Amino acid sequence: MNTITSEAPTPFPTVYGPVKSWRYGRSLGIDPIGAISTCSFNCVYCQLGEIEYRTDQRQIFVPTATIIKDLQRFAPWDVDVITLSGSGEPTLAANLGEIITEIQKLTQKPVIVLTNGTLLGDPAVCQALQSAQEVAVKLDATYSDQLTRINRPLSELDWAEIYTGIEQFRSFYPGKLSLQTMILSPWQKAQQQIYCHIVRKIQPDTIQLNTPTRPKPLMRQLDGRGNHTPGESRSYPVHHLKSVSSDVLQGLAAMIQQETGVSTRIAPQPS
């Protein structure tokens, strides 16, 4: 079904940036979710603030034509990549596949989708992501309680099912798959071993480790979609988060790379 419509663009900016990403260079952001932050998780560190609408049901939040119209204003797209994330979980957008195809047709740029992985077991989502050049999947937890604590998912979501969905997706997806893992406290040996076991099963192309370096806004903030300089002040109430040192991150990255053979990078840390 073709969902492109000729509706007038909304005042909500569905294209933002370019932002400078340590992972992807100059990246133009696309927001297929829109004004109300929407996700199946409510991560303790989410830069959008507390998620306003929690769901795992797909729907069209922003018409594809609106996004494409907004994107045309950024021509000639002097960026390295175009990244879909925005105001929540992009795979919840039922027009995701169409958005990716239309962006590629218009810009000829690589498209990256950042996802929390909860819907990767859905064949329609798997299909929609096939033409993306890279899918970056969040994997912060190696067991159920940790998922509950860090990602605060909808109660019906189960860690084992999410993990199976990611594994399944890997076997069908021809593009580059990366795992993104946020480390909030040092991992015990047992957890390190479980993580390496999961990595060997999923076989990602790369792993990116991070730790919270920015305080979390307490309420929905639109600028949470972009990048911030660590330490910069915010004009709204924030919550400061626990993080680990650069040495801990580096040690973990070296261990994962040695044990799994998968290239593992850490996010640059504030000096």
Q: How far apart are CB 55 and ligand SF4 at their closest, in Å?
A: 11
Size of the site for ligand SF4 (CB under 6 A): 11
Q: Pick from 15, 39, 67, 262 the residue near ligand SF4 by CB under 6 A.
A: 39
Phi and psi of 27, rounded to 5°?
-125, 130
Render 73-86 in DSSP notation, one character per residue.
TTTT--SSEEEE-S
Backbone torsion region of residue 34, taken as left when φ is above 0, otherwise alpha when ψ lies between -120 and 50, otherwise beta = left
Q: Does 42 bind ligand SF4 (CB under 6 A)?
A: yes
Least separation, in Å, of the C-beta of 240 and ligand SF4? 17
CA atoms within 13 A on the CB side of 72: 7
* Residues in region 79-118 near ligand SF4 by CB under 6 A: 88-89, 116
Q: Is 165 in the site for ligand SF4 (CB under 6 A)?
A: no
Say whether residue 213 binds ligand SF4 (CB under 6 A): no
Cα–Cα nearest to 98, from 3, 195, 212: 3
By the 10 Å C-beta count (0-12 exposed, 13-18 middle, 19+ buried), 223 is classed as middle
Q: Find the shortest distance in angstroms from Cβ 105 to ligand SF4.
A: 27
Residue type, 234: R
- Rounded to 5 degrees, φ, ψ at 213 are -115, -5
15, 28, 30, 51: which one binds ligand SF4 (CB under 6 A): 51
Contacting range for ligand SF4; rule: CB under 6 A; set: 38-46, 122-130, 161-169, 196-204: 38-46
Stretch of 11-19, 20-28, 36-44, 122-130 lying at the interface with ligand SF4 (CB under 6 A) = 36-44
| Closest residue by Cα to residue 91 from 9, 159, 166, 198 | 166
Stretch that binds ligand SF4, among 44-52, 69-77, 165-173, 248-256 (CB under 6 A): 44-52
Interface residues with ligand SF4 (CB under 6 A)? 39, 41-43, 46, 48, 51, 88-89, 116, 138
